[in-house]
Chains A and B, each alone.
Chain A
Amino acid sequence: MTRLLQYVVAGLTTGSLYALVALGIALLYRSSRVLNFAHGDLATFATFVAFTLLLGALPFGVAVGASLAAAALLGAAFFFFILRPAKESTLLGRIVITLGFALLLSGTMQLVWGSETQRFPFPLSDAPVLQFRGVVVSQMGLGTIVAGVVLMALMYVLVQRTRVGLAMRAVAQNAGAAQALGIPARRIYALTWGLASALGGAAGVLLAPAVYLDPYMMLDPFLKGFAGAVLGGMDSLPGAVLGGFLLGVAETVFAGFVSFKFKTTLAFGIILLVLLVRPEGLLGREYHRRV
């Protein structure tokens, strides 16, 4: 029982990272139906920026804030200068463009920061802070969960309680109608891209101390985040968060009790299962398509 609880706690830590990634993916998918393959690489980019700034002896908060802003800018710039002006942009074409951007970005990072792994300095350590009947919560685990939950709560307030959030929801629902009502749809899209990239960047910064920093660091969390978003429902932001957490817990428990080697295969299996049984995800609305 203690072992199970311990795995669940560890799973919540990983799950909060997956949830952050899933939230960014769902945010973009909901507004433009584009799956952003560069999501993971934008996150890695933010982490590398933070890493460089920290090496320059900047305070941790400033470095992380600046790196998230850099990721947001890059994401928004990608939308504005590459994705939007693309000719004959079918959905397939736009997805392929994000794939190209992912390659470009990861290649550039490899060139700039090298492909060898780096240790990411982080103010929190592995020291245990909470102990409850043998279940240990480390400083870093707690920090990750708290940071993740705070970011998600901020996101919720932004989307549900502000005018900008209202505009985002309007554009996501029907861009043409929103534009006709005077909402600057393109700027809202760019903002959505920026926000999603910053969320991914936060996940990257939180993940970096647990694994070593390298240009392909976010590939696996990106896939898991996507699996989480599918599990919870790509259309629904709370669904994406729930899916991320569920996947994190399921994966850690699976790795602990069944097989560590095949834990990545589990995420793939979950995607297939969800899509076969309930394609709209746990919290997603059933969607209808038209010709």
Chain B
Amino acid sequence: MATNLLERYEDDLFLVKGAAGWSALAVLLFALATFPFTLPRLGLSYLLFIAILMAANVTVAVGLNLLVGYTGLISLGHAGFVAIGAYASGLLTARLGLPWPVAWAGAALISALFGFLVGLPALRLTGPYLTVATLGFGIAVYQVLTNWTELSGGRMGLPVPQLSLGLAGLSGTQQLYYVAVGTAVALTWIGYNLARSHIGRAFVAIRDSDIAAEVTGVNLTWYKTLSFALSAGYAGVAGAIVAQALRHLEPQAFTFLESITYFAMIVIGGLGTISGAVIGAALLTLLPHYLSGFKQWLPIIYGAVIILMMAIEPTGLYGRWVRVKRYFKAWPL
């Protein structure tokens, strides 16, 4: 079997390697681009809606993995950031009448600002302290939204006006699909590039040993808060997607269970890899739909799978896939 020899370090850094990689990417992008037309023809239009939710979840998971998997700062309050993004985009379009790209950018910025604020104590906190602080943050956001009815619309909820690309030939769902999936793909691509840049390496250095990282010149203050702000910004964009998908916002959509689900996504997919986040998010969006008859079993399944993953395969499904690939590369050795 012909192996491609890497001659320079840059060769190893390429995101897409070899003809196989490029063709897989092309097939994936082509499939994503044609889904809005092929799926309804197959009578699977509801999958389009699930794909939009999947785009939102992928965005959250990639951002969360930058924080948890790369920087090693656990957040159990990401539903809070998603909620902030959702309400920010909803309020900016509904109350101020801003066009949706501005509102989405605003959602990302506002969420990132909150991420920065939550990240400030992260400079002093490690491990469990931070985990509970973020958990408390998620719950606090939920409570504030529930109790502050002028902001969240109270029991009536907050209606979100539908976005439009101005393309007459497409239905609302199809337009949202393109926006959502396009955003998720772009942010995932940015995530890959962040992870292999000096920023990603600084994150990993902090995760492995923050004191050693600081001694070798990584500015902890800057990179820890940056990690939080980035991650929250991703969650904010995802919140904007969720707001458009639901069209009607209620605080109940952003509970502690959502935070746990986001966390389960990256643990199952693989901590510390962008591909892992994508795989985990895709899997945990589809799984509940096919297991809707076993709804009460979901926490048990998530819990058992998280324990199993950490006990047997801490690098997640993606780590297992890489191992299988390596095995066959060297086969039949």
List residues of chain A with CB under 8 Å of any chain B CB: 29, 33-35, 82, 85-88, 90-93, 95-97, 99-108, 110-111, 115, 219, 223, 226-227, 230, 234, 261-262, 264-265, 267-268, 271-272, 275-276, 279, 289-291
Q: A290-B211, A291-B212 are in contact. Are A108 and B300 (CB under 8 A)?
A: yes
Tell me which residues across on chain B come within 8 A of A102, comparing CB atoms.
303
Tell me which residues across on chain A come within 8 A of B314, comparing CB atoms.
87-88, 90, 93
Quote the shortest CB–CB distance from B313 to chain A (angstroms).
8
Can you list, as one digit per residue, whether each of B218-245 has a CB less than 8 Å from chain A (1) or not (0)?
0000000000000000000000000000
Tell me which residues across on chain B come within 8 A of A103, comparing CB atoms.
260, 264, 299-300, 302-303, 306
Tell me which residues across on chain A come within 8 A of B305, comparing CB atoms.
100
Q: A87-B312, A92-B72, A107-B298 are in contact. Are A268 and B133 (CB under 8 A)?
A: yes
B192 CB–A CB distance under 8 Å: no
Majority secondary structure of chain A interface residues (helix, strand, loop or mixed): helix
Quote the shortest CB–CB distance from B162 to chain A (angstroms).
33
B135 CB–A CB distance under 8 Å: yes
Q: A88-B314, A97-B307, A275-B124 are in contact. Are A262 and B300 (CB under 8 A)?
A: no
B121 CB–A CB distance under 8 Å: yes
A144 to B260, CA, bound (A): 32
Quote the shortest CB–CB distance from A264 to chain B (angstroms).
6
Q: A103-B300, A261-B143 are in contact. Are A276 and B128 (CB under 8 A)?
A: no
Q: A92-B74, A100-B310, A219-B256 are in contact. Are A35 and B128 (CB under 8 A)?
A: yes
- Docked-complex contact A279 and B304, CB < 8 angstroms: no
- Docked-complex contact A271 and B306, CB < 8 angstroms: no
Quote the shortest CB–CB distance from B60 to chain A (angstroms).
17
Majority secondary structure of chain B interface residues (helix, strand, loop or mixed): helix
A272 to B119, CA, bound (A): 11
Tell me which residues across on chain B come within 8 A of A96, comparing CB atoms.
74, 263, 267, 306, 310
12 contacts across the A-B interface (CB closer than 8 A): A92-B72, A96-B306, A99-B260, A100-B303, A100-B304, A100-B305, A104-B304, A107-B299, A107-B300, A226-B132, A264-B143, A276-B121
A56 to B126, CA, bound (A): 46
Tell me which residues across on chain B come within 8 A of A86, comparing CB atoms.
310-311
A100 to B139, CA, bound (A): 19
A86 to B137, CA, bound (A): 30
B190 CB–A CB distance under 8 Å: no
Tell me which residues across on chain A come within 8 A of B4, comparing CB atoms.
none
Tell me which residues across on chain A come within 8 A of B260, comparing CB atoms.
99, 103
- Docked-complex contact A275 and B304, CB < 8 angstroms: no
**Residue among A107, A234, A289 with the most chain B CB within 10 A?**
A107
Can you list, as one digit per residue, whether each of B260-300 has a CB less than 8 Å from chain A (1) or not (0)?
10011001000100000000000000000000000011111
A271 to B72, CA, bound (A): 20
Q: A223-B135, A230-B132, A265-B140 are in contact. Are A104 and B124 (CB under 8 A)?
A: no
A96 to B271, CA, bound (A): 11
B125 CB–A CB distance under 8 Å: yes
Can you list, as one digit per residue, whether each of B137-170 has a CB less than 8 Å from chain A (1) or not (0)?
1011001100100000000000000000000000
A265 to B298, CA, bound (A): 29
Q: Determine which of A104, A107, A271 lies in contact with B307 in the assembled complex, contact meaning CB atoms within 8 Å.
A: A104
- Docked-complex contact A107 and B129, CB < 8 angstroms: no
Q: A95-B128, A96-B263 are in contact. List 12 more A-B contacts (CB 8 A).
A: A33-B128, A35-B132, A92-B271, A95-B74, A99-B263, A100-B303, A103-B300, A104-B303, A226-B132, A230-B132, A234-B128, A271-B129
- Docked-complex contact A110 and B263, CB < 8 angstroms: no
Q: Determine which of B131, B132, B139, B311 lies in contact with A97 in the assembled complex, contact meaning CB atoms within 8 Å.
A: B311
Tell me which residues across on chain B come within 8 A of A110, comparing CB atoms.
296, 299
- Docked-complex contact B311 and A279, CB < 8 angstroms: no
Q: A261-B147, A271-B136 are in contact. Are A107 and B127 (CB under 8 A)?
A: no
- Docked-complex contact B128 and A29, CB < 8 angstroms: yes
Tell me which residues across on chain B come within 8 A of A90, comparing CB atoms.
314
- Docked-complex contact A275 and B129, CB < 8 angstroms: yes
B209 CB–A CB distance under 8 Å: yes
Tell me which residues across on chain A come within 8 A of B215, comparing CB atoms.
291
Tell me which residues across on chain A come within 8 A of B301, comparing CB atoms.
107
Quote the shortest CB–CB distance from A40 to chain B (angstroms).
11
- Docked-complex contact B144 and A100, CB < 8 angstroms: no
User: A273's closest neighbor in chain B, by CB?
Assistant: B121
Tell me which residues across on chain A come within 8 A of B307, comparing CB atoms.
82, 97, 100-101, 104
Tell me which residues across on chain B come within 8 A of A99, comparing CB atoms.
76, 260, 263, 306
Tell me which residues across on chain B come within 8 A of A35, comparing CB atoms.
127-128, 131-132
Quote the shortest CB–CB distance from A13 to chain B (angstroms).
23
**Residue among B133, B140, B263, B303 with the most chain A CB within 10 A?**
B303
**Residue among B128, B144, B302, B314 with the most chain A CB within 10 A?**
B128
Give the top 6 A-B pairs by smallest Cβ distance, nearest first: A104-B303, A35-B128, A103-B303, A107-B299, A100-B306, A268-B136
- Docked-complex contact A267 and B147, CB < 8 angstroms: no
Q: A291-B209, A291-B212 are in contact. Are A111 and B297 (CB under 8 A)?
A: yes
Tell me which residues across on chain A come within 8 A of B125, comparing CB atoms.
275, 279
- Docked-complex contact A267 and B136, CB < 8 angstroms: yes
A91 to B271, CA, bound (A): 14
- Docked-complex contact B139 and A268, CB < 8 angstroms: yes
Quote the shortest CB–CB distance from A287 to chain B (angstroms).
10
Tell me which residues across on chain A come within 8 A of B139, comparing CB atoms.
223, 264, 268
Q: A33-B127, A95-B127, A95-B128 are in contact. Are A268 and B140 (CB under 8 A)?
A: yes
Tell me which residues across on chain B come within 8 A of A95, comparing CB atoms.
74, 127-128, 131
- Docked-complex contact A104 and B127, CB < 8 angstroms: no
